[in-house]
Amino acid sequence: MKNSFRLLSLVLICLACVEPNDNAPNGVPFDGTGYKPIYATADEAAKVQVAAAQPLVQPGKIYLFDPYIFVNETGKGIHIIDNKDPKNPQNLSFISITGNYDIAVKGNWLYADNLSNLLVFEISDPLSPKLVKTINDAISVNNFPPYQNVYFECADSKKGVVAGWEKVPMTTQPKCFR
């Protein structure tokens, strides 16, 4: 019992001698990487188009609109997949939407964010989605990455609108943390 008490006392004394890292918010030390904003002009950010199918790289939310599946490509847009044969789904097309992180489907309507805008698509024919409405500034703008406990380069509105984030090596610890 005495040895256990001595060991515990020694551990507590050692811990008391360690200085906290004041530069590590939430106890997360800087590991030499951080997120850098990807900027776009307002015109580039507002451009929405249906394009050829693209491979899924960083999929997000998934919605079933039987027999079709809509899969969010984080920050980039929405994949449309034909799932008539679940053993052999066919990637049909891609709706390119800058800053798209969230989607929802209700009835024949597909809702998607486009940075601060809300887009409404009519999808009664999923092979030919039609943008029917853009609600400008419906969503508050977040000038930080969609991740927690990360370091990032602070956004600069003079460079354009933040269209996405890229994880990169950094030689110095950025000023911003989330």
Say what the pLDDT of residue 22 is: 53
First to last CA, the chain: 45
pLDDT for the residue 141: 79
Give the pLDDT of the chain (178 residues) as one tens digit per residue: 555 545 445 444 444 444 444 557 778 999 999 999 999 998 998 999 999 999 999 999 999 999 999 999 998 999 999 999 999 999 999 999 999 999 999 999 999 999 999 999 999 998 899 999 999 999 987 789 988 999 999 999 999 999 889 999 999 999 999 9
Q: Which of 152, 176, 155 is nearest to 33 (CA)?
A: 152
Tell me, yes or no, whether 97 lies in a domain. Answer: yes
Q: Is there a domain that residue 68 lies in?
A: yes
pLDDT in the model for residue 39: 94
| pLDDT reported for residue 124 | 93
With respect to residue 166, please indicate whether it lies within any of the assigned structural domains.
yes
Q: How much is the pLDDT for 67?
A: 94
User: What domain count does the chain have?
Assistant: 1
Domain residues for the domain of 67 are 25-177
- Is 60 domain-assigned? yes
Residue 81 CB neighbours (<10 A) = 19
**Residue 89 domain-assigned (yes or no):** yes
Residue 87's CATH number: 2.40.128
CA torsion sign for 67, 105, 54, 146 is: negative
